[in-house]
Structure 1
Amino acid sequence: MTVRVARWSATHPWRAIGLWLLLVVVAVGLSAAIPKQQTKADDTWIGQSGTASELIRQANLEDKPSETVLLTDPDGPLDKAAATAALDQLRQKMTAIDAVGAVGQPVWAENGTAALLPIELKGNADDASDNVEKLVAATAEVQEANQGLTIEQAGTASVDAGIWKQVGDDLARAEKLSLPITFALMLLAFGALIAAGIPVLLAFSAVGAALGFYAPLSYLFPDGGSVANVVLLIGMAVGVDYSLFYLKREREERQRGRGTVDAIEIAAATSGHSVVVSGFAVIVSMAGLYVAQDPVFSSMATATIVVVAVAVLGSLTVLPALLAKLGHRVDRPRVPLLWRLNRRIGPGGISRRLLAPVLRFPKAALVISAVAVVALAVPALGMKTEPGGLSTLPQSIPEVKTLTALQQNFPSQGMAFDVVAKGNNAEAGLANLQQAAVAGREFVVMPGEAIKKNGDTAVLTLVSVLPDTSADAKKALEKLRNDLVPSALSSAGTTWAVGGETASSVDYGQHQRDQLPYVIAFVLALTLLMMVFTFRSVAIALVTTVLNLASVAACFGVLSLVFQHTWAEGLLDFTSPGFVISWIPVFLFVILVGLSMDYHVFVLGRIREGVQEGLSPKEAVRKGITESAGVVTSAAAVMVSVFAVFATLGMIEMKQMGIGLAVAVLIDATLVRIVMLPSIMVLLGRKAWWPNKLAATAPETRDRELVTV
């Protein structure tokens, strides 16, 4: 199939190029015409907190969205007269905004250093997101008129807006850095401008097309907030890799004296086949995210599957057309120094030297490499995973900084828990709960009406006095669910649940931990079957699974070392939360298994070619590794550089994802593919291809010891 498609594209280049351009234009048009859908609050309801949210909605007791304006004096205690004047100005401006439902009375901090003004908005949370900029603008105007005070706004809508702005800035920064870095690496790989530009151009067009095609799909799988980042991250990596695999092989065949079309057909039969298998492996792995039953993961999986499919399609269609049209001109214009350096090193020049001792002493190489991987993986045994929260958000986001200051000055603005009770004695039981919780000095109630009631359902909001951290959130939630609430609401016929934003975050993190084993089992089982089908070898499939797990374990170990301790804070510009964000391990696992298959399939394909030619297992490994080393090294360098860019971004989730992927790919492309894989293949010999009869037909006389490589 890959050969037929490549032959048609090579013999009808303008048609293939035109169809690709049409595809990209249509995709961009879809993105402009169809608004991308975002996940809503009820999409993420889960566990007991989800039950609480549903009970509140059924009783029509949902809180109106709100914002809070905080007033402080940077020079010391708050000047009450100046603050009162500023509060009056705020009240006047906020009341004039249509989106504002009510403006509450000012609340003064007991320590005399701050005051706040509560503002209730009309409509629901989505309406608040649409109108919050009007309130932010009004707050900025009052700040401008009162230079002696610090006047800042915080709330769910404004904090979300600040986070989205940070994500947008991070994405723009990643684009600006990743494109020139990738192009520079392609120049090092090819030594020619056109050859270097083609993979980058195709990858970038695949990213744009994928984002466009995802727009209508977002109605089925709404964006949880990370789709654009993930598409750029994975799209640039696999898009460049697939083009690189194909282009390198076509170039290699031309250097052997073959014509352009013949070289393209051979590249399609070999590298093109590997691209299809690799792309399908990534798609299968990403499908494992659906098993997690999480809307955010489902959106990531859908977007990644789309960008990988588009990248594979581009490599099989428009790339052969471009190569056929350019011919030998693809190696023009040459960069003199880089071109001569590439020619002098030759294919696999460096890896040939590294591989020699591995093939000479395979047992020792395997033991040493396995010890190194285990040493990196051991810290993963102590990995702590918690959901992200206020403590993991960058303090560079003004709204996050304001919210932190708000909670420090007003304990009732801290971690809130909604206790919902339904039954005849619901209100009386919640009154008992309030008394017990406040008496223990572990919780406070918000000013105003503490218990809200409608019919047989009542809600009490309790605020923990503990700092807003994941560990403290879990501690406060366990106190409520296991002790205080059961004691107060033990009467027969009363249904209760503890929810709220903080409880939802804790439940979400627990859900991710619970689903991880199922995701791992699904991905490993499918990739195992896929490798058996591709190579007709059970041994190869088992080796693949073991090596994938080795790369993932090393990645998790490095994540624990970096982000659960403080030694790397200055290096990566972050504050250690003492844990890894709960969704990161699940996401990294499926991505790493898919991406590692890129190199694995490509390298094994070249080794199989050697076996088919009649080489001994050791010679086939030498030939396959050295001939593929240049491509694997270049592809790995692109991936590591793109992923490392994300480690420089502001959001700690992006840092953890970038570091995890970069380290895993680096380990996978070096230690695993140049040491562990060849040593295992040499030790297994012809048994590596069991029960495939491929190796059995090779002449036994070729199976001899390699004294030198």
Structure 2
Amino acid sequence: MKGIAARAALWSARHRTLAILGWIAFVIGVTVLAGQFQTIEATGADQGHGDSKKADQIIDGAGFPEQPAGEMVIVQNRSSSDRAAAVADVTAALKKTANVVDVQPAIQSPDGRSSLVTFGISGDPATASERVGPPLDTVASVQAAHPDLYVAQGGDASGDKLIGEDLDKGLHTLSLLSIPVTLGILLIAFGAVVAAFLPVLLAVMAVVAAIGLLAFASRFAPAVDTTMHVMLLVGLAVGVDYCLFYIRRERDERRNGADPHRALVIAAQTSGRSIWVSGLTVIVAMAGMFLTLDATFTSFAVGTILVVATAVLGSLTVLPALLSALGDKVDAIKIPGLYRKRSDGRVWNAFLGLVLAKPLISAVLAVAALGALAWPALDLRTKGEGIEDLPPDAAIVQAYKAVEEAFPSSISPAEVVLQGRVDQRKITEFEKAVGASDGRLAGPVEVKVNPAGTVAVVSVGLADKDALPLLREDVVPAVFGPSALVTGEAAGEADFNARLNASLPWVFGFVLGLAFLLLLVSFRSVVVAITGVVLNLLSVAAAYGMLVFVFQYGHFESLLDFHAADGIINWMPLFLFIILFGLSMDYHVFVLSRIREGHDRGLTTRQAVREGIGRTAGVITSAAVVMVAVFALFATLPLASTKQLGIGLAAAVLLDATIIRAVLLPAVMALLGEKNWWLPRWLGWLPQIAHEPPPAPEAPAPSRELISA
């Protein structure tokens, strides 16, 4: 047998006990060891870019006393009630509250309708969310005592607690739902409990093992806290798909009359090889995130590569061993009304007949539909994550919005970092420049100096988005010189966007180029490779358009519980491109392998397309439904980023499995005919890879004794 997948399947079938026990030992072993080593999480020093990162590193090394996590309480008139009494009550109550330090006198808003009381949470700022409960209760009691006023608390600690609790609850629910939803879909697809249970079991084990491996990988690339959620998303999708492809082909060959060994050999030689090529393509796509030089993307790349590689490993080793051990018992516990010995695919074949009868019209209609969906993407804008990306009805969101409107410079001030002794004349000059900025820079200007007197941090409020360029490009260089650095939330976001924009051409070029080369080598066709890349780009463009339509233009706001913003989360387009491009290759490689298999047997291209897509339509539909269901669950989480991720992935996979694979791909291949397989002579050195399953062994010739008898 030729090929890695086939040799792995043959070895696993011959040593199935060793393969099964070895897989179980591998999963348990890495999980136990990971618990001993722990996963190293990325810190602020690992993240950031440009001047803001340099400034943060200077501050971290300057020896400033650790500042408590800052919180604020807004007391606002919403009627004619007296605000002074409520301000006095909240100030006095906070001073007596556990974990509260440094309560400051209230400041008044310019419009005279609001008062702001600031204070800190004692202890390590990183864990302040664990100690912010008492002040939240205090503020709630003051609000209850003054129902005619609006009294609310906001800050990093309270935000982390309230939103974190909602997010953890949502992720827990998602984890509980994703597995039974996937299992339910597979029960309908297979009609047998054992066959449906195997892909879910192996996918979950692959995710668990990959998370264990992440603990070791984090020594080289620290992990961000959302990496495990992305691993669950990708791992469950590809793990189930790979097993689904393999089991479906093995079952089909058994129903075609092949003995158990030959059925497994054919599944390994065809679907197993497709899994290997598809997994490699997905890994290559994910590796493109390394080129961003960003800690978050690097963590995502490591996590997704680990989970895809683990899913491929399980599909090519333990799955053949299980199929060999189970034999026809893989169809055990049949579900009445759902189990079918053979799917006739009547609906898909009839639809495919229409497409192949009028390929040009079908292609034009498909491209027009995708173009209409992608059209809003021309208006795609990006933005950093902000308070508007949280659930609009959350108490912390309403508090932040009230503070932002009444005290716009108090939410996220910029910080100018100066090295050397502080020149008070420069500070005075800076204060004058802030006063002359027409309100775009807002005071008061605050100065903090480290104990050694070698580093100063000058804080100033930013009234709008245009204030940061004014501060960085005009005011700071003119007053403090070019060595002064600006950091803060707005500066960090600007530097992140600059880094992302600089890396986009490299990431896109890397992913597209490597995907083209993998398809070229796998199918020995320039046309097939170009077609694959173009079709995947169409699905990504349509997904972008749908994101803009929903999240920028504000459609389905009430259904998805969000407020439209003026842009998509800045890291979302690049991340979606990489994930979608990788996952689209699952279907594309699987379908193309089946088409090439028919062509290698001597069928015309049109016949091979009809047979290949017709025979894979059922399994492609099942795999797509699994992915769409798992991805759609992410849209139920409270953050706009998770909603965009879920909707973008679900929409793209749905389009990819329907319009692209069922209409555009067969139509384009039918139009191109034998040109699909064009390969220049100078590329003739590419390796020959057999797509057709190995021929059945001939029956032995009868003996002379039998003939004479």
Q: What's the TM-score once normalised by structure 1's chain length?
A: 0.89
1:92 aligned residue: 96
Q: Read off the aligned partner of 1:516 and give its amino acid letter.
A: L
Aligned counterpart for 1:373 among listed residues 370, 375, 391: 370
1:289 aligned residue: 289
Q: 2-side partners of 1:215 and 1:158: how far apart?
A: 29
The alpha carbon displacement at 1:319 in A equals: 1.4
Single out whichever of 421-430 and 296-305 deviates more from structure 2: 421-430
3-state SS in 2 of match to 1:64: coil
1:159-308 correspondence runs (5 A): 159-308=159-308
The alpha carbon displacement at 1:115 in A equals: 4.3
1:609 aligned residue: 597
1:543 aligned residue: 531
Aligned counterpart for 2:19 among listed residues 16, 32, 52: 16
Q: Read off the aligned partner of 1:33 and give its amino acid letter.
A: Q
1:408-423 correspondence runs (5 A): 408-422=405-419
**Structure-2 change in CA distance of 1:348 and 1:85 (3 Å):** same
Give unmatched runs, 5+ long, in structure 1.
466-471, 699-709
Single out whichever of 142-151 and 624-633 deviates more from structure 2: 142-151
Aligned counterpart for 1:406 among listed residues 400, 403, 408: 403
2:518 aligned residue: 530
Q: Read off the aligned partner of 1:462 and give its amino acid letter.
A: V
3-state SS in 2 of match to 1:458: strand
3-state SS in 2 of match to 1:93: coil
Alignment partner of 1:358 is 2:355:
yes
Identity of aligned residues (%): 40
C-alpha contact 1:7 1:261 (8 A) present in aligned 2: no
The alpha carbon displacement at 1:363 in A equals: 2.1
2:468 aligned residue: 477
Q: 2-side partners of 1:118 and 1:446: how far apart?
A: 17
Alignment partner of 1:681 is 2:666:
no
The alpha carbon displacement at 1:631 in A equals: 1.1
Q: 2-side partners of 1:334 and 1:172: how far apart?
A: 31
Q: Read off the aligned partner of 2:380 and give its amino acid letter.
A: M
Alignment partner of 1:47 is 2:50:
yes
C-alpha contact 2:390 2:562 (8 A) present in aligned 1: no
Q: 2-side partners of 1:186 and 1:611: how far apart?
A: 30
1:702 aligned residue: none
**Structure-2 change in CA distance of 1:614 and 1:576 (3 Å):** same
3-state SS in 1 of match to 2:145: coil
The alpha carbon displacement at 1:497 in A equals: 2.4
3-state SS in 2 of match to 1:578: coil
Deviation per CA, 1:480-537, whole angstroms, max 9, x where unpaired? 22343344346xxx52222212211222123223322211111011111111111122
Q: 2-side partners of 1:411 and 1:365: how far apart?
A: 54
Single out whichever of 155-164 and 198-207 deviates more from structure 2: 155-164
Q: 2-side partners of 1:9 and 1:668: how far apart?
A: 33
C-alpha contact 1:225 1:296 (8 A) present in aligned 2: no
C-alpha contact 2:554 2:563 (8 A) present in aligned 1: yes
Q: 2-side partners of 1:198 and 1:58: how far apart?
A: 53
The CA RMSD over aligned residues, in Å, is 2.8
Q: Read off the aligned partner of 1:27 and give its amino acid letter.
A: V
1:311 aligned residue: 311
Q: How many residue pairs are counted as aligned between the two chains?
A: 675
3-state SS in 2 of match to 1:647: helix
Q: Read off the aligned partner of 2:30 and give its amino acid letter.
A: A
C-alpha contact 1:211 1:303 (8 A) present in aligned 2: yes
Alignment partner of 1:463 is 2:461:
yes
The alpha carbon displacement at 1:384 in A equals: 0.3
Single out whichever of 604-613 and 221-230 deviates more from structure 2: 221-230
C-alpha contact 1:202 1:239 (8 A) present in aligned 2: yes
Alignment partner of 1:649 is 2:637:
yes
Single out whichever of 450-459 and 257-266 deviates more from structure 2: 450-459
The alpha carbon displacement at 1:404 in A equals: 3.2
Alignment partner of 1:105 is 2:104:
yes
C-alpha contact 1:47 1:507 (8 A) present in aligned 2: yes
3-state SS in 1 of match to 2:296: helix
1:328 aligned residue: 328
3-state SS in 2 of match to 1:420: strand
Deviation per CA, 1:159-199, whole angstroms, max 9, x where unpaired? 23444333322221222222222112112211111111111
Aligned counterpart for 2:442 among listed residues 436, 441, 444: 444
Q: 1-side partners of 2:429 and 2:224: how far apart?
A: 39
Q: 2-side partners of 1:616 and 1:83: how far apart?
A: 82
C-alpha contact 2:74 2:399 (8 A) present in aligned 1: no
Single out whichever of 661-670 and 427-436 deviates more from structure 2: 427-436
The alpha carbon displacement at 1:664 in A equals: 0.9
1:559-598 correspondence runs (5 A): 559-598=547-586
Give unmatched runs, 5+ long, in structure 2.
693-709
Q: 2-side partners of 1:221 and 1:430: how far apart?
A: 40
1:659 aligned residue: 647
1:622 aligned residue: 610
C-alpha contact 2:178 2:633 (8 A) present in aligned 1: yes
C-alpha contact 1:387 1:508 (8 A) present in aligned 2: no
Single out whichever of 107-116 and 23-32 deviates more from structure 2: 107-116
Q: What's the TM-score once normalised by structure 2's chain length?
A: 0.89
